[in-house]
Structures are given as C-alpha cells and as structure tokens.
Amino acid sequence: MSTIGNRVLITGGAAGIGAAIAASCRSRGYEVVILDQKNADCCVDLSNVEETAQALQQILQQGPITRLVNNVGMVAPAAIEAQSLAQFDQVMALNIRCALQCSQALIPGMKQQQFGRIVNMSSRAALGKTFRAAYAASKAALIGLTRVSALELAEFGITVNAIGPGPIETALFKQANPIDAPHTQQILNSVPVKRFGQPEDVAHACDFFLDEQSGFITGQVLYVCGGMTIGVNGI
C-alpha cells in the first residue's frame, strides 16, 4: 500500500457498521482513528460542536488525516406530526452538521497532500421511509453535501462519495426487529436478494471508495441494500 494518507478517521466507529469499517481498514494497513461516545481513540459527544472541535484538534496534532468516514448517526423515529423540533435538531446536528465539521477540519491537510477520500454514510431512507422524517431529511442532506463537496474538492485530488445502506443486521437492528416479529419478516420479504445485509457488506463498499485507485469516482451514491432501491418493494 502507498504511504500516502494511511490515517483514516471514522466517526461512530466503535460498533455496528462503523466497527466493521474500522476492522476492514486495519486489515488493509490503515491507521484507524475512531471518534465515538465510548470505546474510541477519542471519546466525544459528536452532536456537540465544541466537544467535536476539541477532539478534531487533538487528533490532528498527531498529523494529517487524508481519509474520512462520516459514519456516526441517530434515527429518532416518529410520525411527521409527532416529530419534536428538539429531536429534529439533535438528529441534524449528529447526522449532517458533524459530517460537515469533520470534513472542514480535515480538508486543509488533504489539500496539502493533494489527496483525500471522504465517505459519507447516507441511507436508503433518504429516498423515503415512514416514521423517519428527521433521519431521512438528514441523510438526504448528506447526499447534497457529498455532491457539492465533490465538485469543490475534485481538483485537489479529493474524492467525496456516499453509501446508502438498506436493512443491515447490526445489534441495534436486531434489537428493534426481533427475528420472529411479523414486521421483520415483512422487511426481509421486501429485499430482492432475500437476506439482510451485514456490516461487512457496507465495509466492503467503503473500502472501494477509500482506495487510492478510486480517484476517478466522486460525487456518487452507492446503495448497499440488496436491491431495495430498484423497484417499489421497499418499506
């Protein structure tokens, strides 16, 4: 592997999809730096602007980071008329503001290296999903941020892409969707490949975007959803 930009920052990398991405990055020789609430290289509340700024300053003192995975997020499900504005703001702060803040902190170092890879974790829900007003709005906003960033940063050798996971069988997903629950079976039946995704499926897609050889791919959204975005079967 090239010595260019071997440090990768992963927000929300302590569990679930983020942990799978971190494990895959380590196996590929990257030096992984995790920002999360616990079990991280730097424990921080990423919904808090000041705490996030301090954490970013701390990790960047150890040298530039030229790969970034904006993975942290929260869902806060609610019907549209029941969606509290306070919770809406919290989702936006964690899911989109944090991604912008982390990107802004790392971009100067990427420009100096004339190399960078940014991967934003969106969701299939950005295309529409009931009881996900705040979450879907934030993930759709992340796609917009991805495209604008890609346009502005391309000339500096920095690519910016997004991944849109479908139903991924993390611990939190299993807790919310017990295997024997009718709703869980309904979700499974809506997936054309007839299985739930695994965190490693998303990590594989992330590996592709982070690779040094992926320099001609930017501003794109890759849905890792078992085919749910193809037709109208998704729920």
The CATH number of the domain where 95 resides is what?
A: 3.40.50.720
Band the pLDDT of 20: cuts 50, 70, 90.
very high
**Rounded to whole angstroms, how far apart are CA atoms 29 and 5?**
11
pLDDT tens per residue, range 83-132: 999 999 999 999 999 999 999 999 999 999 999 999 999 999 999 988 99
Q: What is the pLDDT of residue 3?
A: 46
Residue 90 belongs to a domain: yes
**Which of these, 194, 105, 98, 115, lies nearest to 159 by C-alpha position?**
115
Q: Reduced to 3 states, what is the DSSP secondary structure of residue 197?
A: strand
User: What is the side-by-side strand order in the sheet with 116-121?
Assistant: 42-43, 31-36, 7-11, 67-70, 116-121, 158-165, 221-224
Q: Which residues are marked as active site?
A: 135
Residue 64, burial from CB neighbour count under 10 angstroms (0-12, 13-18, 19+): middle
Residue 193 belongs to a domain: no
Element (H, E) at 8: strand 7-11
Residue 89 belongs to a domain: yes
Residue 81, burial from CB neighbour count under 10 angstroms (0-12, 13-18, 19+): exposed
How many domains does the structure of the chain reveal?
1
Per the structure, the complete domain to which residue 51 belongs is given by: 7-167+198-224
Residue 186 belongs to a domain: no
Q: What is the pLDDT of residue 232?
A: 57
Residue 218 belongs to a domain: yes
**Nearest 10 degrees: CA dihedral of 100, 103, 104, 108?**
-170
**For residue 218, which amino acid is it?**
T
Residue 50, both tokens: 């000041």
pTM: 0.95
pLDDT tens per residue, range 137-157: 999 999 999 999 999 999 999
